[in-house]
């Protein structure tokens, strides 16, 4: 029997997930939820760019969730407190949840009370809830822990992810401030419009997974300036303007740094890379030259995780609880 799946949130990421699900014989999409007026009432296939699927997009979440899918794939928003009621509704409908909500990747530090409530409700309903994706969910946390398997002990972790945003879609280039002046960038940061969400969650996942003592998690965000003119398919960024963003997440024990995550996303990045350095016994360095493609990887991580979440113990889970696997048979 294929797993019955509802897609909740059909932006670019939800659409990529749906298209990948259609390739897996173990999945049957039985419902679609979104509130965007230009999507409601249309066929899901029409919205995600495939042939018709006979599944209308609805903004009536409760009615769709009442069909009790095995799994709800959730991709509406980044903040745990904002999606809490959506997740609760999925759980109360009796469905497992895999979500791309960044803060759901490790909500226990920032939202202990909400996390406890969701965990209790999920256990009562006998379902598992997981936040995952490429970052957080894999490159700067789960992959680090996977590589760490071959170390005997680890003192310190350094991860660097450099993303060339030139070929990514316009909303992403805007989200990182490409083309802004430094003053505009700082104002946008202040207003909360520029920020990758999820670095503190990745720090927390690494600390929990490696058993590293981390008392505080600190985060900084700075502009990266273009050192030459850059033209993308959408924007022209002049030398000296903001090319993108550099965010650093640090896990500290006292004033000693145990975890350092360096995320750089900018147009014109010459050497995109995902790099993991572990300092311990032995020291280890792992690199993915060119880096990991964010959107393709997010859809892959989510879809490959679905059959594993169904088998996970009920409750609010993290990627620490879920094996790494390509789900070919799904």
Residues that bind ligand NAP (CB under 6 A): 9-14, 33-36, 75-78, 86, 100, 102, 133-137, 298
Q: In what order do the strands lie in the sheet with 3-8?
A: 57-58, 27-33, 3-8, 71-74, 96-99, 128-131, 315-317
Name the 3-class secondary structure at 86: helix
Please identify, using beta-carbon distances, which residue of 69 and 154 lies nearer to ligand NAP.
69
Q: What are the helix (H) ranges across 57-177?
A: 61-65, 80-92, 112-125, 142-147, 170-175
- Closest to ligand NAP by CB, 87 vs 226, is 87
State the nearest-atom distance from the C-beta of 82 to ligand NAP, in Å.
8
In the complex, the smallest distance separating the C-beta of residue 310 from ligand NAP, rounded to whole angstroms, is 20
Pick between residue 60 and residue 238 the one whose CB is nearest to ligand NAP.
Answer: 60
Q: How far is the CB of 52 from ligand NAP (least distance, A)?
A: 19
The CB-of-155 to ligand NAP minimum distance in angstroms stands at: 27
What is the widest separation between alpha-carbon atoms in the chain? 57
Pair 18, 51: CB distance under 8 Å: no
Closest chain position to ligand NAP (CB): 11
State the minimum distance, in angstroms, from the CB of residue 74 to ligand NAP.
Answer: 9
**Can you give the C-alpha Rg of the chain in angstroms?**
20
- Select 134 or 157, whichever has its Cβ closest to ligand NAP: 134
Measured from the CB atom, the residue of 17 and 243 that comes closer to ligand NAP is 17
Provide CB contacts within 8 A for 173, sequence distance 6+: 165, 166, 179, 232, 234, 235, 267
């Amino acid at each position: 029997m294929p797993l019955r799946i509802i897609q909740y949130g059909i932006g670019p990421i939800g659409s990529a997930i749906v298209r990948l699900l259609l390739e897996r014989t173990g999945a049957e999409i039985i419902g679609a939820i979104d509130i965007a007026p230009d999507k409601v009432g249309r066929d899901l296939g029409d919205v995600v760019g495939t042939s018709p699927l006979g599944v209308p997009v609805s903004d009536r979440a409760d009615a769709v969730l009442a069909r009790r899918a095995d799994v709800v794939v959730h991709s509406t928003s980044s903040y745990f407190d904002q999606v809490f009621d959506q997740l609760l509704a999925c759980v109360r409908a009796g469905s497992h949840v895999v979500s791309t909500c960044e803060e759901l990747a490790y909500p226990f530090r920032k939202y202990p009370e909400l996390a406890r409530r969701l965990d209790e409700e999920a256990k009562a309903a006998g379902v598992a809830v997981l936040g995952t994706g490429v970052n957080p969910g894999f490159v700067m946390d789960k992959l680090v822990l996977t590589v760490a398997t071959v170390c005997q002990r680890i003192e310190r972790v350094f991860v660097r992810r450099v993303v060339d945003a030139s070929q990514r879609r316009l909303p992403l280039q805007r989200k990182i401030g490409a083309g802004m002046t430094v003053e505009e960038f700082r104002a946008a940061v202040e207003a909360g419009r520029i920020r990758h969400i999820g670095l503190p969650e990745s720090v927390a996942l690494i600390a929990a997974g490696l058993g590293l003592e981390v008392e505080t998690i600190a985060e900084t965000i700075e502009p990266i300036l273009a050192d030459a003119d850059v033209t993308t398919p959408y924007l022209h960024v002049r030398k000296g303007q903001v090319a993108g963003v550099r965010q650093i997440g640090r896990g500290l024990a006292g004033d000693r740094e145990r975890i350092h995550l360096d995320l750089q996303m900018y147009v014109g990045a010459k050497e995109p890379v995902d790099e993991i350095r572990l300092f311990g016994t032995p020291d280890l360095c792992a690199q993915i030259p060119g880096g990991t493609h964010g959107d393709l990887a997010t859809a892959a991580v989510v879809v490959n995780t679905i059959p594993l979440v169904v088998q996970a113990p009920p409750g609010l889970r993290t990627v620490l609880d879920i094996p790494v696997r390509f789900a070919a048979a799904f």
